[in-house]
Structure 1
Amino acid sequence: MGKNKDTMKRVLKFISPYKAKIIIMLLTALVTVGFTLYTPILIGNGVDNIVGPGNVNVAGLLKVLGTLAVVVIGNAVSQWVMNLLTNQVTYSVVQDVRSQAFAHLQEVPVSYIDANQPGDILSRIVSDVSQFSDGLLMGFTQLFTGVLTIFGTIGFMLSISVKIAVIVILLTPISLFVASFIAGRTFRMFQEQSEKRAEMTSIVEELVGNQKIVQAFSYEERANERFGKVNEELRVCGIKAIFFSSITNPSTRFVNGLVYTAVGIFGAFTVIRGGMTVGQLTSFLNYANQYTKPFNEISGVVTELENALACAKRLFDFIDTPVQEPDAPGAIELEKADGRVNVENVSFSYRKEVPLLTDISIDVKPGQRIAIVGPTGCGKTTMINLLMRFYDVDEGQILVSGHPVKELTRDSLRRNFGMVLQETWLKAGTIRENIAYGKPDATLEEVMEAARHAHAHSFIKRMPNGYDTVISEGGGNISQGQKQLLCIARVMLMHPAMLILDEATSSIDTRTEVKVQKAFAELMEGRTSFIVAHRLSTIQEADLILVMKDGNIIEQGKHEELLAKKGFYANLYESQFAVS
């Protein structure tokens, strides 16, 4: 447990706000253990009141039975209160841990999300926290009561027979040694099990979310192979972890059996010699059984705690990942951008050893439409990531309305950009909620007006419940084109100061695209707009076309100017519109 000390300290910090409940819980645990330990004394007294046939102390026996009934009821009540408080504290702690993990997820940089499997993050926040709560629950209920029972039992046994008690105490450490020896080797196995479980979650999430692609490319057999490989690895490490943890209990029970046998033999000889009564031997045997039982429970608790701490460590490792660079002290809230954007000698790469953008400079005037074109991988979308400050530049600076973006709050910067991506995203909910995602207080009239501008109103009205139609997460029950129209309507509702359109009409049919382009033209009127496009027909009206290749702007100008140069852009354009 030494290597888990830091993890345990952090767990205790999460528990500390619930000190009052924990104190009450510990007091009820003390009462529960007290009642439990008093029971064998009453049973022994009851046995001593039954000396033999025709020689029974009825009055004494009834008194013992009455006291025993009170003790049993009191034990049940105190145990109920203890379990109730234990559950409240455990699930409150789990809620706090999971809330902190999810809040941290909102603060990690986009680079972390890009570099890690979503399924692994999901597993840490959901599965690992659940495993952690199970171990915490057992730790609360059994560890403390087990320790109390052990020390209380020792006291009662010493009061009956010091010699026999010493035998029990000397033999018991064997059980402790066996439990600690096995438990100390299970942590690594449970940690490996958590990692494999996370890997499996990632694979399932990937394949379920993209089942159409899986089937379209006949990937089912290879998907089964990938899943089967990880499933087999999880089975193997799971069997190892469970095997080594499960032999703890039988091993300690074997030692406990030896202890119980020793007590029975020595106790019987002591009764024969008149050193104790039969009732006292009965009490002692009960205590010997009670004394060894917590060791079995504690060994199980230690195993569960090892698993819980392994899961907690994975969760804390996630919580410890560096958050995105905070807004600068005194960062400016950009209320309404004027549309000026200056990119000054910007260089950037996702990996230092692989340069991407090199010494990029652009001066964008208010209201201009800037188109960014070029082959795949040239840095078009990266420019958008830098404008939105999903990533920070390595060199140079970007200014919006004359302010370096690093001196602006991220929220205010992003509120000034309306963004429609090629990759659509919709949440599970009604169509109205999805359109009003960025403006939840929007009226139905405002939502409908945005949908009309996006040419989405007509298909929405044909849906079973119109704007109250519920769509699944990702919009799986509507077409790709309809999803994109809803995403466009979502931006139109916001009326942002500037626009970013990254292949915004790529999934729309030609006829609808013409209508949407007109709507965009209306929306872009007076607004600075950045348009990333592969289809060059969509950006011919742009005020400035930036032609990118290998992370550099190799040409810039208007459509006609670039065609006249007969350079790279002209070749791209001709390749798209070549007549065979």
Structure 2
Amino acid sequence: MSTPTATRRPMAGGPVGRGFPGMQGPVSKADDFKTSAKRLVSRMRPERVSLVLVVVLGVISVGFSVAGPKILGHATDIIFDGIIARYRGLPGAGIDFAALGSVLRWVLALYLISSIFGWLQGRLLNTVVQRVVFELREDVEAKLHRLPLRYFDGQPRGELLSRVTNDIDNISTTLQQTLSQLLISGLTVIGVLAMMFSISPLLALIALAVIPISVVITGQIGKRSQKLFVAQWKHTGALNAHIEESFTGHQLVKVFGRQKESEAEFRSRNEELYTASSGAQFVSGLIMPAMMFLSNLSYVIIAVVGGLRITGGSMTLGEVTAFIQYSRQFTQPLTQVASMANLMQSGVASAERVFELLDAEEQEPDPADATLPATRRGRVEFEGVSFSYRAEQPLIEDLSLVAEPGQTVAIVGPTGAGKTTLVNLILRFYELDAGRITLDGVDITALKREDLRSQVGMVLQDTWLFGGTIRDNIAYGKPGATEEEIVAAAQATYVDRFVRTLPDGYDTVIDEEASNVSAGEKQLLTIARAFLASPSLLILDEATSSVDTRTESLVQHAMAALRSSRTSFVIAHRLSTIRDADLILVMESGRIVEQGNHEHLLEQRGAYHRLYSAQFAAPVE
């Protein structure tokens, strides 16, 4: 089954359902480059054997590479000595081409071996990085399934998708491009320093003077750029959230003529992203010119001092030329590491955002000694239940009710009264503030969530279908269902009649936006899915709101058959659909203000009577 496709999604910031207060946005953590970088590197510990091999290959590659300039210095001495000897007119003087050829062959062999080991090291390191990123993606996916619904209520979808996709991709790019370079640069610095000290300790000390200056410059610039990179990825998530909302609901945007407002908000968010991105790149980009200046300054000083030592006879020309090459090799890794500072800052900023997701508070774990009801009858009891989305704004307070097995309990009331919240609590989408809910005498907190929800079938007003065939969407309610069971469920819920008119029948593929079936047909498919599951407890949240009157009548008969042997909770605004309910609960502001059957509540002439009259009374001039 492919990824789920929402045919209509709740607005970001509200719980599953409709009309509830939004939750707070994502938590903003203080920028901490050092801690986040350490944590990112610590995720590579399971690959330490491979990393040791990577280091060994890198040492061999760099070792052969750094030996080359010193051997080339001997070639320079051979040429120089031959030219000087001929200039002095010594008999048989000239360049010893046999010795020169031998030296050059050695250098060629060294560089070839260095390249082979460098290729092996890079290939192995890339494999390690991909495994680390693979495991990070798996950890994020598993984390998403452990997060409570409250977390998703407070996260714009585009922002969450940006963390799961863009930020992890950026981490992958950063690790691939920086780890190998950092390793090779570090080993090169060590190897080159050893060769430089073996040639001339004085010149080596001059070259070393660049390091502390480089560290200070890189550190000062890095501190300023890190905050800008964090802001860059934060604004990227906000921009993605706006684009996702605008283009998911682009029909509504056009209907209400809000294109200009949408474009204005896009320009505003895009401007914020541009400002943060350009600022981050500019600040971090200052490192490279500064390092190049220090490198050239060091080169000039070494060349001057080296020339003086040649004239004094303390060094040969070959040694000075070799040392100058080493000085270039010494500053080049420092310059490369500095040039990667912006990439490292960006990658660590993304890691910080991903770790923030991984550190989010999880839902309470299932009990280790979970129990199951002795019998599955579908008796539900609320005992002094209190719940609120936000502590300062109570919603449900001290609510008690009993739904007997086989009863149909209808829940009515104005928008925001807590109707959908009530059924979400049965499914443990949210945890109670006080009281308890029992299913067949067992506290639902003593059940595993999987066991609890396997006993419940739910049909929402907001229809959710998957990208796949109609058969797949119906069979989702019961894995392993036979073709006969799928067709029987479709016939019972009047899905079969419109599926037969489609060219591919049950093999018709629901497209990405489920736009090739009508809103009513989508809702019938979700009802068929619940019918096939045959649960002991059924929840219908405005399940027939998108079907026409005739189809609604047919579905009501199907729902009556489906409800005959199980407890049902029916949330409805159209009171005509719940007249036959065994018990009708009228909710206002999270409290049950009336309860009884249809006739009894009309006789009381209270809240239910007002709702009923508002729907069915004739218009008054």
Is 1:213 aligned with 2:252?
yes
Using structure 1 for the length normalisation, give the TM-score: 0.96
In 1, Cα distance between the equivalents of 2:564 and 2:207?
89
Contact between 1:335 and 1:412, CA under 8 Å: does it hold in 2?
Answer: no
Alignment correspondent of 1:577: 616
Secondary structure of 1:504 counterpart = coil
Superposed CA offset, 1:307-366 (max 9, x none): 222211111111111110112331213586211111122121111211211222111111
Letter in 1 for 2:72: I
Contact between 2:373 and 2:442, CA under 8 Å: does it hold in 1?
Answer: no
Contact between 2:493 and 2:555, CA under 8 Å: does it hold in 1?
Answer: yes
Superposed CA offset, 1:415-439 (max 9, x none): 1110000011112222222222233
Alignment correspondent of 1:14: 43
2:57 to 20, 25, 28: 28
1:230 to 240, 256, 269: 269
In 2, Cα distance between the equivalents of 1:267 and 1:462?
90
Letter in 1 for 2:464: W
Superposed CA offset, 1:185-219 (max 9, x none): 21111111111111111111111221122112112
1:46 to 75, 79, 85: 75
2:412 to 373, 376, 391: 373
2:342 to 292, 303, 323: 303
Which consecutive unaligned segments of at least 5 residues does structure 1 have? none
In 2, Cα distance between the equivalents of 1:114 and 1:336?
35
Secondary structure of 1:215 counterpart = helix
Once the 2 structures are TM-superposed, how far is the Cα of residue 537 of structure 1 from its aligned partner?
A: 0.6
Contact between 1:374 and 1:534, CA under 8 Å: does it hold in 2?
Answer: yes
In 1, Cα distance between the equivalents of 2:565 and 2:337?
71
2:223 to 170, 178, 184: 184
In 1, Cα distance between the equivalents of 2:299 and 2:473?
67
Q: Relative CO higher for 1 or 2, CA cutoff 8 Å, sep ≥ 6?
A: 2
2:161 to 122, 135, 145: 122
Secondary structure of 1:91 counterpart = helix
Secondary structure of 2:340 counterpart = helix
Alignment correspondent of 1:243: 282
Contact between 1:172 and 1:256, CA under 8 Å: does it hold in 2?
Answer: no
1:526 to 561, 565, 568: 565
Contact between 1:425 and 1:475, CA under 8 Å: does it hold in 2?
Answer: no
Superposed CA offset, 1:258-294 (max 9, x none): 1111112222222233322222222111101000001
Once the 2 structures are TM-superposed, how far is the Cα of residue 440 of structure 1 from its aligned partner?
A: 2.9
In 2, Cα distance between the equivalents of 1:520 and 1:529?
10
Q: Any residues of structure 2 matched to 1:20-419 within 5 Å, and which? A: 20-51=49-80, 55-334=94-373, 337-419=376-458
In 2, Cα distance between the equivalents of 1:251 and 1:472?
54
Contact between 1:143 and 1:301, CA under 8 Å: does it hold in 2?
Answer: no
Secondary structure of 1:449 counterpart = helix
In 2, Cα distance between the equivalents of 1:343 and 1:152?
73
Contact between 1:135 and 1:301, CA under 8 Å: does it hold in 2?
Answer: no
Superposed CA offset, 1:223-250 (max 9, x none): 1111111100000011110001111111
Using structure 2 for the length normalisation, give the TM-score: 0.90
Once the 2 structures are TM-superposed, how far is the Cα of residue 377 of structure 1 from its aligned partner?
A: 0.8
Q: Any residues of structure 2 matched to 1:526-565 within 5 Å, and which? A: 526-565=565-604
Alignment correspondent of 1:453: 492
Secondary structure of 1:337 counterpart = coil
Once the 2 structures are TM-superposed, how far is the Cα of residue 45 of structure 1 from its aligned partner?
A: 2.1
Contact between 2:384 and 2:436, CA under 8 Å: does it hold in 1?
Answer: yes
Deviates further, 474-483 or 67-76: 474-483
Deviates further, 494-503 or 75-84: 75-84
Cα 1:459/1:109, change in 2 over 3 Å: same
In 2, Cα distance between the equivalents of 1:493 and 1:5?
54
Letter in 2 for 1:382: T
Deviates further, 284-293 or 44-53: 44-53
In 2, Cα distance between the equivalents of 1:419 and 1:99?
29
In 2, Cα distance between the equivalents of 1:141 and 1:336?
61
Contact between 1:28 and 1:81, CA under 8 Å: does it hold in 2?
Answer: yes
Secondary structure of 1:198 counterpart = helix
Report sequence identity in percent.
40
Secondary structure of 1:32 counterpart = helix
Once the 2 structures are TM-superposed, how far is the Cα of residue 503 of structure 1 from its aligned partner?
A: 0.2
In 2, Cα distance between the equivalents of 1:214 and 1:334?
49
Letter in 1 for 2:309: T
Superposed CA offset, 1:448-474 (max 9, x none): 222222211222233342222222345
In 1, Cα distance between the equivalents of 2:200 and 2:322?
11
Give the aligned CA root-mean-square deviation in angstroms. 1.8
Cα 1:79/1:476, change in 2 over 3 Å: farther
Which consecutive unaligned segments of at least 5 residues does structure 2 have? 1-29, 87-93
Contact between 1:28 and 1:79, CA under 8 Å: does it hold in 2?
Answer: yes
Cα 1:334/1:29, change in 2 over 3 Å: farther
Once the 2 structures are TM-superposed, how far is the Cα of residue 515 of structure 1 from its aligned partner?
A: 1.3
In 2, Cα distance between the equivalents of 1:5 and 1:331?
42
In 1, Cα distance between the equivalents of 2:614 and 2:321?
97
Cα 1:511/1:134, change in 2 over 3 Å: same
Contact between 1:346 and 1:393, CA under 8 Å: does it hold in 2?
Answer: yes
Once the 2 structures are TM-superposed, how far is the Cα of residue 539 of structure 1 from its aligned partner?
A: 0.5
Superposed CA offset, 1:38-69 (max 9, x none): 12123222222223567221111211222122
In 1, Cα distance between the equivalents of 2:614 and 2:601?
15
In 2, Cα distance between the equivalents of 1:561 and 1:406?
35
Alignment correspondent of 1:476: 515
Secondary structure of 1:471 counterpart = coil
The size of the alignment, in residue pairs, is: 580
Deviates further, 347-356 or 379-388: 347-356
In 1, Cα distance between the equivalents of 2:289 and 2:517?
57
Contact between 2:31 and 2:227, CA under 8 Å: does it hold in 1?
Answer: no
Alignment correspondent of 2:22: none
Is 1:440 aligned with 2:479?
yes
Superposed CA offset, 1:6-33 (max 9, x none): 3234223310111111111111111121
